[in-house]
Amino acid sequence: MTFKELGIIEPILKALTAEGYTTPTPIQEKSIPILLKGKDLLGCAQTGTGKTAAFSIPIIQQLVMDRESNPQQRKIRTLVVTPTRELAIQIGENFTSYSRFTGIKNTVIFGGIKQGRQTDALRKGVDVLIATPGRLLDLMNQGFISLRDIKYAVLDEADQMLDMGFIHDIKKIIAKLPENRQSLFFSATMPPAIVELSKKILGDFERVTIKPQQATAEKVEQGVYFVTKKNKPSLLIHLLEKDPNDSALVFSRTKHGANKIVKQLAKADIKADAIHGNKSQNARQKALGDFKDGELKVLIATDIAARGIDVEELSLVINYDLPNVPETYVHRIGRTGRASASGVALSFCDAEERPYLKDIQKLINQQVPVIADHPYVDDGSEEIPLVEKKHHNNRQKPRTGHSNPRGGRNNNHSRNRNNRPKRD
Ligand code: AMP
């Protein structure tokens, strides 16, 4: 299947070729025909699947068609609501890329910065508005934005918006949308509250599901290190020093933890920066920009801050802490192995995190191969002089020589898999 066969018009095809996209991803192949028919869509998919292009390409195409049949003054005809500023910026960049030969214009609005530039852009006129919920409502209340001309409405990462407490804002926004519109609703998970919310926005819809295991198992090579909490910094330094030129995104469960990792790496002369909610908007954008440009090789992120991160050539994701919500693991490892690229996701798992690993393996329906060949293996012995014995009864012995369920490869994972020495 090609984009041309999906009926995409020439100016967009030209932009996709310039982006280097040769074939549509599964979600694009499934969603584009539904959306070009004008139907509503419920997309159950995470980032990393090509979801943004799956909705932005057909929307741009319809905006071009609408304009041809009814040339009029530029009005906001598409609204995309998304939970974080990083994600909003990312979506804006996607729209800009795919619409560059069409004359369709977009702008992005989000909180945490002054509104002047955003309202200036709105005054000049845009076809597509990408917004986080709080700033959108704020500018609507101030009279800078009207939703009355919206024909295409997208709610992106709905489960995350719910987690972040945006539900009331979302309901207020939905209430202002005109009846006659096409609605798109995307969520990585579908708990009952999300299904309920989807009913408020969708009319007669079709559903497209891209399962997490399709996204993870096929493209991302995974591995887990059993390591004590105390040895996690040393193991991280060990891995980062192996391939200093590769970009690594390191996940920390907490903001405090993220700052601590930056300091520990600094002591080993590894430059890293952290992005999380306590950092200013400018500091976050700067760190993210440096990371995308390749100037900063190691970025430490909390889950929410990492939502919008899309970095080409991101070869490695490290879960310094395992998340207690298994879906979060899928989101995290989706940062690498984007669309057609392949990537590696390595996880550190201490004794307390073993149950989380179990939940993750259940969700992705596969065993994450254990990497036993490293200098900081948690074999339980290390803590004997320090820790009360009772822990040992619960601790699973690390497996050695565990076979990789994907077959073919030895258990000596690293991002530089082929060159890595067997042991240091
Ligand atoms: P998303 O799931 O929207 O966050 O997209 C994941 C990544 O895949 C982004 O870096 C896109 O630029 C890239 N991408 C989207 N569609 C394609 C495609 N058909 N071929 C190659 N890369 C793509």
* Alpha carbon nearest to ligand 1 atom 15, residue: 50
CA distance 222 to 406: 10
Select from 81, 63, 80 the least CA-distant residue to 72: 63
CA distance 411 to 190: 34
Q: How do 40-44 and 182-187 pair as beta strands?
A: parallel
* Alpha carbon nearest to ligand 1 atom 19, residue: 24
Mutate to test the pocket of ligand 1, among 8, 13, 19 (most ligand atoms within 8 A of CB): 19
Contact (CB, 8 A) for 274 and 300: yes
Please give the number of the atom of ligand 1 that sits closest to the Cα of 94: 12
Query: Which of 89-98, 248-257, 406-415 shows the lowest mean pLDDT across its residues?
Result: 406-415
* Predicted local distance difference test score (pLDDT) of residue 422: 28
User: What mean pLDDT comes out for the span 384-388?
Assistant: 37
Q: Does position 412 have pLDDT exceeding 80, yes or no? A: no
Give residue 216's pLDDT band: very low, low, confident or very high (50, 70, 90). low
Query: Which of 22-36, 260-274, 371-385 shows the lowest mean pLDDT across its residues?
Result: 371-385
Q: Does position 109 have pLDDT exceeding 90, yes or no? A: yes
Please give the number of the atom of ligand 1 that sits closest to the Cα of 3: 19
Distance 310 CA to ligand 1 centre (A): 9
Phi, psi of 134 (to 5 degrees): -60, -50
Enumerate the β-bridge partners of residue 185: 42, 155
* Predicted local distance difference test score (pLDDT) of residue 405: 30
Provide the residue type at 319 as one letter: N
Distance 113 CA to ligand 1 centre (A): 28
DSSP string, 28-56: HHHHHHHHHTT-EEEEE--TTSSHHHHHH
Cα–chain center distance at 374 = 29
Mutate to test the pocket of ligand 1, among 12, 13, 25 (most ligand atoms within 8 A of CB): 25
DSSP designation for 414: -
User: What mean pLDDT comes out for the span 8-21?
Assistant: 95
Please give the number of the atom of ligand 1 that sits closest to the Cα of 312: 10
Give residue 70's pLDDT band: very low, low, confident or very high (50, 70, 90). confident
Tens of pLDDT, residues 125-134: 999 999 999 9
* Predicted local distance difference test score (pLDDT) of residue 396: 34
Distance 208 CA to ligand 1 centre (A): 17
Beta strands in 181-253 (DSSP E): 182-187, 205-209, 220-226, 248-251
CA distance 185 to 161: 12
Distances in Å between the alpha carbon of 312 and those of 51, 100, 217, 246, 316?
Answer: 16, 20, 19, 12, 11
CA distance 149 to 36: 19
Distance 395 CA to ligand 1 centre (A): 40
* Predicted local distance difference test score (pLDDT) of residue 364: 82
Tens of pLDDT, residues 140-154: 999 999 999 999 999
- 10 Å CB burial of residue 291 (0-12, 13-18, 19+) is buried
Give residue 241's pLDDT band: very low, low, confident or very high (50, 70, 90). very high
Phi, psi of 391 (to 5 degrees): -55, -35
Tens of pLDDT, residues 158-208: 988 988 889 999 999 999 999 999 999 999 888 888 999 999 999 999 999
Distance 50 CA to ligand 1 centre (A): 4
Give residue 399's pLDDT band: very low, low, confident or very high (50, 70, 90). very low
Tens of pLDDT, residues 78-90: 999 999 888 999 9
Q: Does position 394 have pLDDT exceeding 80, yes or no? A: no
User: What mean pLDDT comes out for the span 334-340?
Assistant: 65
Distance 16 CA to ligand 1 centre (A): 10
Query: Which of 168-182, 266-280, 300-314 shows the lowest mean pLDDT across its residues?
Result: 300-314
CB atoms within 10 A of CB 155: 27
Please give the number of the atom of ligand 1 that sits closest to the Cα of 21: 20
Distance 32 CA to ligand 1 centre (A): 14
Distance 153 CA to ligand 1 centre (A): 21
Tokens representing 166 are 């945006």
Please give the number of the atom of ligand 1 that sits closest to the Cα of 24: 19
* Alpha carbon nearest to ligand 1 atom 20, residue: 21
Distance 123 CA to ligand 1 centre (A): 31
Which three-class secondary structure state does DSSP give residue 112? coil
Domains and CATH numbers, the chain: 10-209 (3.40.50.300), 214-424 (3.40.50.300)
Give residue 122's pLDDT band: very low, low, confident or very high (50, 70, 90). very high
* Alpha carbon nearest to ligand 1 atom 6, residue: 48
Which of the pair, 288 or 313, is modelled with greater confidence?
A: 288
Which of the pair, 243 or 72, is modelled with greater confidence?
A: 243
User: What mean pLDDT comes out for the span 411-422?
Assistant: 33
CA distance 36 to 23: 18
Contact (CB, 8 A) for 74 and 126: yes
Which of the pair, 276 or 4, is modelled with greater confidence?
A: 4
CB atoms within 10 A of CB 209: 12
Lining ligand 1 with CB less than 6 A are 21, 24-25, 28, 47-53, 310, 338-340
Q: Convert 292-323 to b/e letters by CB count within 10 Å (16 or more is b).
A: beeebbbbbbbbbbbbbbbbeebbbbbbbbbb
Query: Which of 6-10, 92-96, 327-331 shows the lowest mean pLDDT across its residues?
Result: 327-331
Distance 333 CA to ligand 1 centre (A): 15
Distance 28 CA to ligand 1 centre (A): 10
CA distance 255 to 277: 8
Find all residues with CB under 8 Å of 412, minimum gap 6, and list them. Answer: 371, 373, 420, 422
CA distance 340 to 325: 26
Mutate to test the pocket of ligand 1, among 8, 16, 21, 292 (most ligand atoms within 8 A of CB): 21
Share of the chain above pLDDT 70, in %: 84
